[in-house]
Structure 1
Amino acid sequence: MVENFRNFETGPDPFGRTWKITFRWQQNAISIRHADTVDTKWEIECDGEAQEKIVALPLPVLMKLEHPITDFWCMKLGALHLIDMISSWQDMDKELVTLSQAEADALSKR
């Protein structure tokens, strides 16, 4: 289990590799994309190659979880989703990924 959601490693991915994850920033996307989301930005690195990923957490989705919307909680949800993305390789071709209600429901129980 991850103890520090700012800097951690995860893996293996489907190819057996381990990834280094670094939290970059979090902000309300209404100011940058005119979207009603909290964006969490990450740098992921493996084998010397770095990528940026943004996990968008829609406010209506967060509000249905009935949990206080705090910076740490949003960072945790973004990190857990990124861990799932890497382990399954789902959506790894995208830079911006938006969390669905079903995904948020599952992550909020972890």
Structure 2
Amino acid sequence: MATFDDLRRLALALPGAHEVTYRDEPWFNVGKKTFALRWKGRVVLKLDRGHQELLFEIRPETFQKFPVATVHWAAVELSHLDDAELADLVREAWAQVVPKTISRPVLEAARR
């Protein structure tokens, strides 16, 4: 079972990632772009649109649309994930906000 501390550890291990506080909540950014956050007790990740829609459909107890104007955000129930799955999702979210020249080597190394 994954925890928010696991998310923090995984997010901050990624190149360029840092934690900021917005409205007393932790957000994980690269530069000014956010890829993961906690909002009112919920964990929210910026996932690939196609993957996100699939997750909403096949695992609605774990992944829900986050009610904002953009469709790139998913609320995630961490207690339904193991560390390996959370690591994959955090890398995916991070890859949404960094250039491919930075994300590609990290994602390829994770696949090995």
Ranked by relative contact order (alpha carbons within 8 Å, sequence separation 6 or more), the top structure is 2
Name whichever structure is richer in strand by fraction. 1
Higher helix share: 2
**TM-score, normalising length from structure 2?**
0.30
The TM-score with structure 1 as length reference comes to: 0.30
